[in-house]
Structure 1
Amino acid sequence: MSSVVALVGNPRGGSRTHLAAVAAAEALGRRIGHDAPPEVVDLSAIGPHLFTPTPSPTVEVALELAAGARVLVVASPTYKATYTGLLKAFLDRLPGGALTGTAALPLMVMGSPRHALAVELHLRPLLIELGASVPTPGLALLEAEIPGLDRILADWADRVAPQVTAAVRQPHPRDLV
């Protein structure tokens, strides 16, 4: 099975968003037959390099990982009812169509259920604009649900694995070269 990558758009290292993204990528990876640990692109570690005027090898490697993933879990905390500017700045570095052949799964961590639609109204369209297939509804996690994350993600992974498996059966553009 192809690569699974967790893209973490939280500007703080060691965040609940990081925990949720990696756990989601692991749970889903197991369900679709990808036993290797997921690759992780943690934007808190490379954030300052996104805004430098000179190219950064660290950013380029992260962009290649994201664009080359077959399954990309894209996670952000909810800031002002949407995803973080850091995540947007990173994704803006990808050319149009860069996620063609990638099954993307949007995930947002939020303090209030009032923001639950942000994952569908804001993050999903961005991923589709970049060419990703978004075969399942996004996952909106409340911060209060983090203690029960294993159970929540097990149920989620069981529910979305068939659609993700079908999406990754399509040849990836990099495999056709």
Structure 2
Amino acid sequence: MTRVAVVVGNPKPRSRTYDAAVRLAGELGAVDPLVVDLATLGPALLDWSDSTVSGLVDEVSSADVVVVASPTYKATYTGLLKVFLDRFAPDALRGTVAVPLMLGAGPGHALAPELTLRPVLVEIGASVPTSALYLLDGAYDDPDAFTDWLAVNRPLVAALLASTEGASA
């Protein structure tokens, strides 16, 4: 069974970003994903000795697929997400397929997930075989907003997972 994690870097708990990320994970086949809503962790994120946060880093690192989501702030992902991702060793996500997802107010920042989020995920070892997904805030709950991206990228994720499972069997 594919292990899927969702990491949400919105400072507001249970945000639109959260809803979009969980939906995307479901569309990629997740049945009961681990969902890390960083807004709920508070100051523990800044305590490098916090065992809860360290445990979540370990769980995310062991996922086969991780959807990493953030609203667009100042043309990039949030500092909250950056603090969490800084806890990962350079190869912590080796063997993990990562899908960058960002929400924004307008199309002017549509390249933000490609230019800012993808590189940090690759830096910590993830494979990012798909294009990043950028959604307008107002369309986060519209199934049609996901349709074109899923048509192209869902098969890529499935093929990569199948080849990884075949290699480990």
Partner of 2:56: 62
**Shift of the alpha carbon at 1:47?**
3.3
Q: Given the alignment, which residue of 85, 94, 119 partners 2:113?
A: 119
Partner of 2:19: 19
TM-score, normalisation: structure 2? 0.91
TM-score, normalisation: structure 1? 0.87
Partner-residue secondary structure (3-state), 2:80: helix
* Cα distance in 2, alignment partners of residues 154 and 115 from structure 1: 20
Q: CA-to-partner distance for each residue in 1:96-141, whole Å, 9 max, x for gaps? A: 1101000000000001111111010000001011110001100000
Q: CA-to-partner distance for each residue in 1:5-55, whole Å, 9 max, x for gaps? A: 1110111102110010111101111xxxx5x222101101113101126x1
Alignment partner of 1:134 is 2:132: no
Checking the alignment, whether the CA contact within 8 Å between 2:6 and 2:25 is kept in structure 1 is yes
* Cα distance in 1, alignment partners of residues 115 and 87 from structure 2: 21
- Any gaps of 5 or more consecutive residues in structure 1? none
Partner of 2:153: 160
Checking the alignment, whether the CA contact within 8 Å between 1:9 and 1:75 is kept in structure 2 is yes
Partner of 2:10: 10
Checking the alignment, whether the CA contact within 8 Å between 1:7 and 1:40 is kept in structure 2 is yes
* Cα distance in 2, alignment partners of residues 24 and 73 from structure 1: 8
**Shift of the alpha carbon at 1:171?**
3.9
**Shift of the alpha carbon at 1:155?**
4.0
Runs of 4 or more above 4 Å deviation: none
- Any gaps of 5 or more consecutive residues in structure 2? none
Partner-residue secondary structure (3-state), 1:10: coil
Which AA in structure 2 matches 1:89? V
**Shift of the alpha carbon at 1:154?**
4.3
Partner-residue secondary structure (3-state), 2:28: helix
**Worse-superposed segment, 154-163 or 79-88:** 154-163
Q: How many residues align?
A: 167
Considering only aligned residues, what root-mean-square deviation do their CA atoms show, in Å?
A: 1.7
**Worse-superposed segment, 158-167 or 106-115:** 158-167
Q: Describe the shift of the 1:51–1:62 C-alpha distance in structure 2 as closer, same or farther (beyond 3 A).
A: same
Which AA in structure 2 matches 1:41? V
Q: Given the alignment, which residue of 52, 62, 83 partners 1:89?
A: 83
Checking the alignment, whether the CA contact within 8 Å between 2:14 and 2:37 is kept in structure 1 is no
